[in-house]
Chains A and B, each alone.
Chain A
Amino acid sequence: MDKLLLGRYIPGHSWIHQLDPRTKLMASFYYIGIVFLANNWQTYLMMFVATLFMIWLSGIRIGFFLRGVRPLIWLILFTVALQVLFVRGGMVYWHWGWLWITKLGLINGAFIFVRFVLIIFMSTLLTLTTQPLSLADAVESLLKPLRVIRVPVTELALVLQIALRFVPTLMDQTTKIMNAQRARGVDFGEGNIFQQMKAVVPLLIPLFVSSFTTADELATAMEARGYQGGDDRTKYRILRYHQRDWIAAAGMAVLTGLLLLLRAY
């Protein structure tokens, strides 16, 4: 469960790891956007090679990325099947009633498949190489302009940061309470769905109560250390763009140029 909630960050010092999280966040969204520009085999091949190159740069084994595809495989296959069966054009290989398998359908299906895989690979690359905390920093920094319209960005970022910080602590507490309740004879994960739901109650109530205690004590500790909110706070953690961030941006620009050149109109 720990892994699931905290993302799947894999520590490393690769070129990709060292990029500024803002660059990674923006580049990922940008990349997912331009994947939709690809519309022939040349452009898809190019995007595929570019993605593999970035994966290679990250130094993370391809297996981790394939595992990212697995949970979505049925959605992908369903979408591909729709394309194959309903898009008509070119040579007809098979047809039955209103279902057709045509050359165009097959090609479209293959493109959709590749598009899905590329998007998943790219978002996996973002989460594998960036700590959740850095992503929170990136979001804060990128949302800063919203302060003009009085969105409390700094406070929201602190909330997000503290939430991330307390995930393992709450996990610990959950395990402790579960063990304590097991020692008193509660069976977790046994019986039918109603019995299982009932078993969760003696877990949730103490957890709920202790979260409030935690929140209260944390607030006191924060106040004792001079926390007053507002924008007068300085920041220990700062984000700085380096040369490699400009290189990454340039890489994205070149990729876009090539895409526009090679795509079919």
Chain B
Amino acid sequence: MGNVIRVQHLNYTYPEAKHQALTDVSFDVAKGEWLAIIGHNGSGKSTLAKNLNGLLAPESGTVEVAGMTLSEETVWDIRAKVGIVFQNPDNQFVGATVADDVAFGLENRGVPRDEMVKRVDESLERVGMTAFADREPARLSGGQKQRVAIAGIIAQRPEIIILDESTSMLDPAGRQEVLGVIRELKDELNLTVLSITHDIDEAAVAHRIILLNDGKINEIGTPSDIFAHGTDLLRLGLDVPYSEKLKDALIQRGVAMPKAYLDNERLVDYLWTLHSTM
């Protein structure tokens, strides 16, 4: 049955906005594919994600997901098929404990309790968070919270999982942790993954990359096609790490900085010792 997502001539404008956020976007996603969507801030990536599960209603054009055309009647069925892991780990954690949060989506769908308990346990097992079932979110790391969010989604047995910059607020370890879980689950459960990202490593594992620019599809291609653009990538939206950008800006202002790559923590350490005389 080939394509699990089919988007045709999708247009979207935010209420009260002058410019279209998405203009004539068309693409297909094959079942089991890993598709990355890249583009700089404001290019329409998140808007596109929200149009795929009816959080925003397309202005014109059609969105087909798992054989259903998105409309008011199908929106809740489609949401069951499409899970989104959002950017901020805290602001999508609804339950008071890990198990409660995983159960939230199931409660919404009126899944009977016995089935719910079974699926919660199974999903936590899959993301390796069983030992944390009774923990409160305040006592989890960002990566762990995102794993819980993933568990909450796979408990609903979706076909598609969308990562909406889900790793952008995590440290490198948390990022690896989350991507590792996604990679495993994708194979085990035959999921289709759409990852919206600024992270070059995350985009590199995709089968295909969609490059969005100003609400339009600029290019669709394999990672090697896209990465062949080299430094243009920066302009097109893959992010150079924040610490590197800051370092460049400081060098331009005449501050002496080491050549080697510094992550955020080491950059902070370097900066606060820079003028320290002790």
A residues touching B (Cβ–Cβ < 8 Å)?
Answer: 133, 161-162, 164-165, 168-169, 172, 213-214, 217-218, 220-228, 232-238
CA distance A92 to B96 in the complex (A): 59
16 pairs from A and B in contact (CB 8 Å cutoff)? A133-B96, A161-B96, A169-B138, A214-B91, A217-B86, A220-B86, A221-B84, A221-B91, A227-B104, A227-B108, A233-B110, A235-B107, A236-B99, A236-B103, A236-B117, A236-B120
Sorted from nearest, which 5 A-B pairs have the closest CB atoms?
A236-B103, A168-B138, A221-B92, A217-B91, A225-B105
Chain B contact residues, majority secondary structure:
helix
Q: Check B108 against A228 for contact (C-beta < 8 Å).
A: yes
Q: Check A218 against B91 for contact (C-beta < 8 Å).
A: yes
B64 within 8 A of A: no
B143 within 8 A of A: no
Q: Which residue of B lies closest to A233 (CB)?
A: B107
- Per a CB cutoff under 8 Å, which of B92, B103, B106, B113 touches A218? B92
A204 to chain B, nearest CB (A): 20
Residues of B close to A161: CB separation below 8 A: 95-96
Q: Mark B216-231, 1 if CB is under 8 A from A, else 0.
A: 0000000000000000
CA distance A11 to B109 in the complex (A): 32
Q: Check A214 against B108 for contact (C-beta < 8 Å).
A: no
B186 within 8 A of A: no
CA distance A61 to B70 in the complex (A): 60
Known pairs A235-B107, A236-B120, A237-B100; A223 contacts B94 (CB<8 A): no
Q: Mark B85-124, 1 if CB is under 8 A from A, else 0.
A: 0101011111111011001111111111100110010000
Most chain A CB inside 10 Å of its own CB: which residue of B50, B91, B97: B91
CA distance A228 to B77 in the complex (A): 13
Q: Which residue of A lies closest to B56 (CB)?
A: A220
- Per a CB cutoff under 8 Å, which of B55, B108, B138 touches A233? B108
Q: Which residue of B lies closest to A220 (CB)?
A: B55
Q: Check B111 against A225 for contact (C-beta < 8 Å).
A: no
Q: Which residue of A lies closest to B91 (CB)?
A: A217
- Per a CB cutoff under 8 Å, which of B94, B96, B113, B120 touches A221? B94
Q: Check A217 against B88 for contact (C-beta < 8 Å).
A: yes
Q: Check B113 against A236 for contact (C-beta < 8 Å).
A: yes
Most chain B CB inside 10 Å of its own CB: which residue of A133, A214, A234, A238: A234
Residues of A close to B107: CB separation below 8 A: 233-236
Q: Check A238 against B113 for contact (C-beta < 8 Å).
A: yes
Q: Which residue of B lies closest to A229 (CB)?
A: B108
Q: Check A226 against B76 for contact (C-beta < 8 Å).
A: yes
B80 within 8 A of A: yes
Q: Check A234 against B136 for contact (C-beta < 8 Å).
A: no
Q: Which residue of B lies closest to A235 (CB)?
A: B107
CA distance A213 to B80 in the complex (A): 25
B43 within 8 A of A: no
B58 within 8 A of A: no
Q: Check A221 against B110 for contact (C-beta < 8 Å).
A: no
Residues of B close to A227: CB separation below 8 A: 104, 108
Beyond A162-B94, A214-B91, 10 extra complex contacts between A and B, CB < 8 Å = A161-B96, A164-B96, A165-B93, A172-B138, A218-B91, A221-B94, A224-B79, A225-B153, A226-B108, A234-B111
B11 within 8 A of A: no
CA distance A222 to B100 in the complex (A): 13
B237 within 8 A of A: no
Q: Check B106 against A165 for contact (C-beta < 8 Å).
A: no
B167 within 8 A of A: no
Residues of B close to A225: CB separation below 8 A: 79, 83, 94, 104-105, 108, 152-153, 156
Q: Which residue of B lies closest to A166 (CB)?
A: B90
